[in-house]
Copies of this chain bind each other. A is one copy, B any other.
Amino acid sequence: MNITIVGLGVIGGSYAMALKESDYNIYGIDINYDTIKKAKDLLIIKDGALDNDIKSKEFIKKTDLLILCIYPKSIKKFIEKYKVYFKKGLIITDVTGIKDNFINEVENLLPREKNIDFIFCHPMAGREKRGLNYACGTIFKKANFIITPTENNKEENLRFIEELAFLMKFKKVKRLSAKEHDLIISFTSQLPHAIAVSLINSDNLNIKTGDFIGDSYRELTRIANINEDLWCELFLGNKNNLIKRIDDFQEKLDILKKCLVNEEEESLKEIFKESTRKREVLE
C-alpha cells in the first residue's frame, strides 16, 4: 500500500515517524526542500517531492491513502490541483481541527466518479512549535483521535483509519458528528488557546515576568506561542461555537470575581471544590 503524506510539519512528520516501522510505502510532499531532504535522511519517507515538482504527481497517481497535514484552505487548493491524478477508490484523510463547514466545502470538490472516500479526522496532539524539527513519533501516545464520519464513508475504510490510529499508538479513537466535534473542540482546544493568548497579552506590569513565575504560568501560556495563520482559520471557521464558550467561561470568572469583591469565603471554597472534583475525574 502506498501512502502519501502532504505537509511534513509537526503532525505530518510525526505521522511519518509513527508509521516508520509499518509495511507501508510512505511518500512525502512538502513546499520546503530542506524538509523533504531531512525526512529522507531520517528514513521516515521512501521518497519525497516538492509540491510543484512533476514527481509529486507521480506519487499521487499511485497513492492508495492520502494524508493531508496542511492548513484547511491549503487542503482545498491541493485537491483542486491534484484531483485529476487521484486513483479510483483513493482514501483521503486529514488532521484539521474544525469540521462542520469544512467537510461540506471539501466534499463538494471531490471527483464523485472516482469513488474517493474522504475520512475526516482530528488527531488531538500537537506542539507549540512548527516544522519537522519538532515532529516526534511518540506524541500520539496518550492522545485522543477523533473521526467525524460522513454519509459517504465506507465502514471498512473508517475501520482502516481507526486501525491506523491505533498503529500510531493513539490511546482512544472516537467517532463524532461534525457538529458535535466542532462544539466539543471549541471548548477543549480553542477556548484554552484563546485564554492562553489573552492571559499573556494582559501582562502590563513592565517587569521581567519570567523571573517571577512558577509552573502554572509557564503551562497556561505555553500554547500562547501560536501559529497565527492556522489558528486564525480554525477560530474563524468555528466562531459561533467559540464565542459561546468564551461567554460561558467569562460568566464563571465573573462569579469568582464577585466572590472576591464581596469576600464570600464559603462560595469561593465551593468553586474550588467543584474545579477539584472536575479535574480529578478528567483522566
Contact = CB atoms under 8 A, between A and B. Distances in A.
A70 interface: no
Given A257-B246, A260-B235, A196 B225 contact: no
Interface in A149-191: 172, 174, 176, 183-185, 187-189, 191
A133 to B, nearest CB: 16
Given A231-B272, A253-B250, A269-B229, A192 B220 contact: yes
Contacts of A231: 272
A272 B256 CA distance: 27
A203 B189 CA distance: 12
A211 to B, nearest CB: 6
B232 A268 contact: yes
Nearest to A146: B212
B197 A272 contact: yes
A280 B221 CA distance: 10
Contacts of A247: 257
A135 interface: no
B204 A248 contact: yes
Interface stretch (A51-59, A112-120, A236-244): A236-244
Nearest to A128: B279
Contact of A201 (B207, B224, B252): B252
Nearest to A204: B248
A257 B227 CA distance: 18
Interface of A: 124-126, 128, 143-144, 146, 172, 174, 176, 183-185, 187-189, 191-205, 207, 209-229, 231-232, 235-236, 239, 242-243, 245-253, 255-257, 260-261, 263, 265, 268-269, 271-276, 278-283
23 contacts: A125-B215, A128-B279, A188-B214, A192-B199, A194-B257, A196-B220, A197-B252, A200-B275, A200-B282, A201-B252, A201-B271, A202-B248, A210-B281, A218-B282, A221-B275, A221-B279, A224-B275, A226-B276, A232-B265, A236-B263, A236-B265, A239-B261, A246-B256
